[in-house]
Structure 1
Amino acid sequence: MNAQRFYVGCAGWNLGREHLSAFPTEGTHLQCYAAILGSVEINSSFYRPHRQQTYVRWADSVPADFRFCVKMPKRISHVRRLQHCEQELDEFLGQCSGLGDRLGCLLLQLPPSLAFAEPFAEAFFVALRQRFFGDVVLEPRHESWADAEPLLVRHRITQAVVDPSRISGDGAPRGWQGLQYWRLHGSPRIYYSAYERSCLEHLAVELQAATGAGQATWCIFDNTASGAALGNALTLAASLRGEA
């Protein structure tokens, strides 16, 4: 799967009891998780900082081809609202740099109340790109961000494909096309509902069709509240490998 540059995983690496048999029995939860799935989204960084050494330890726990996506702190997205946050950017990037080459991308999720205005968005992305050259994923949740695509392309920012959809246009890849990132929260009950096998098989076909020459394609399950994410990730990963 990773040779095809598909990165399937969950928001977090909790291993529910009902799926333990799919994972090794020796090692930490992260080591066991990373032995089977190829990526994970770190959401805890949104709520609190982690020491650089913690990221180093996580990176040392996974195979060389495993990748982390790290969610940017809410102090940047929700408190500062992307303005005057250079110090917060420096602190966050210094911390997650501990992942080294296992840092796959950064996720920036915006509050629903944050409307798009090009001057402050441009200033933020310039500040970010002065500090970080890797892949960045944006999940906007205000309808006005539908007008931001030229800015995203200019700064190499991918807009996440989201389910359930929050704004028009987030049901298909937008922004910079060098990376594609699906973020699935569970439907119809957000964060709880599992996706049916038929839906996941259809998604596998869609992901394969959407993947162009050489770009990475991510699919992260965030329907973690009832443990559905892990089973969905295992099913999708198997389907992408061509397994029944």
Structure 2
Amino acid sequence: MLSTRERAQPPEVRIGISGWVYPRWRRAFYPPGLRHADELPYAAARMTAIELNGSFYSLQRPSSWARWRASVPDGFIFAVKGPRFITHIKRLREFDAPLANFFASGVLDLGPKLGPVLWQLPPTFPYDSALLDRFIGALPASRAQAARLAARHDERMRGRASFSVGDDAPIRHAIEVRHPSFEATIDEWADLLAARGVASVVADTAGRYPRIDRVTADFAYARLHGEEELYASGYDAESLDRWAEWARGHLSTGRDAYLFFDNDAKVRAPFDAMALIERLPRPG
């Protein structure tokens, strides 16, 4: 069973954006003349977390993880998106080496700034209890477990692996699903997640994909892709108030809450995130 987070402080809410490298954001969110290298520090100064999504598309270099860690203030949190090679290409089959490679790529170098690891399944992936149980059971529950897993990386990572343990903190995982069969088997799916302490992502997708809001872990995770138009439409004051209340509900029962805006197409995400941050207590 995955370890729960040791409660050394009151529960907190973390709010941010999914990624920060978007050319269309320049001169709209990022001020004119801002160097591309300064976009992450600029965004991090206005958010309380960022979902790092480059890791979804390819394995990143240890130097990149170290640079991202150094670019944000102490106390900042990155959620990290797991590789699509595992979820979309391998489709949770033969994932042992790719999972080891992912954790050997430098993820652990984020140190205390490593937040939940997000796994997004494709819309064509139906509920399969055996496949899902095996994958979830293989996810490392702590930094030490992740380092032991990373040590089993294959030759692809030879000479470029980095997986220092640091403190043996728990590692959280969250899964976002998009196939309607998960709604039809919601109780079984929720039980499977809860048995391992993995969060079920609440995905707001303008009605395109299932929206499953079930508590299965000691934290909650929401991805806001657009209320009326996927990846494009923003959230008005009333909608933001509802999401603020959703977060407060989890805080009141001792759970941390993470909310990430992925409605980036019309540069709504950073402004919606900042507006929601103003409605809720800041971490620490």
Q: TM-score by structure 2 length? A: 0.76
Instruction: Give the equivalent residue in structure 1 for 2:192.
Output: 151
> Equivalents in 2 of 1:9, 1:180: separation in Å?
14
Alignment of structure 1 residues 1-244 onto 2, 5 Å: 5-14=12-21, 16-20=26-30, 28-95=38-105, 96-129=107-140, 131-132=145-146, 133-145=170-182, 146=186, 147-164=188-205, 165-166=207-208, 168=210, 170=212, 172-176=213-217, 178-241=218-281
- Quick one: distance in 2 between partners of 1:240 and 1:203? 10
One-letter code aligned to 1:193 = S
Distance in 2, matches of 1:114 and 1:62, equals: 35
Note the C-alpha offset of 1:51. 0.6
- Aligned-pair identity in percent equals 29
More strand by share: 1
Unaligned runs of at least 5 residues, structure 2 = 1-8, 147-169
Q: How many aligned positions are there?
A: 237
| Contact 1:107 1:137 (C-alpha < 8 Å) held by counterparts | yes
TM-score, normalization: structure 1? 0.88
**Are the counterparts in 2 of residues 187 and 193 from structure 1 also a CA contact under 8 Å?**
yes
Quick check: 2:40–2:72 contact (8 Å CA) kept in 1?
A: yes
- The answer to whether the 8 A contact 1:137-1:181 is kept is yes
Q: Is there any run of 5+ residues in structure 1 with no aligned partner, and where?
A: none
- Contact 2:11–2:255 (8 Å) recurs in 1: no
> SS at the partner of 2:223?
strand
Change (3 A) 1:214 1:61: farther
CA offsets per residue over residues 55-106 of structure 1, 9 Å max, x none?
1110111112110011111110011111111110011112211211111010
Code of the residue aligned with 2:192 in structure 1: it is L
One-letter identity of the residue aligned with 2:78:
F
SS of the residue aligned with 1:183? Answer: strand
Q: Per residue, is there more helix in 1 or in 2?
A: 1
Question: For 1:186-226, what per-residue CA distance to the aligned partner results, in whole angstroms no more than 9, with x for missing partners?
Answer: 12110011111221123212211232444321110000111
Q: Please say which structure displays the higher CA radius of gyration.
A: 2
Range with greater deviation from structure 2 (161-170 or 140-149)? 161-170
Larger relative CO (CA 8 A, sep 6+): 1 or 2?
Answer: 2
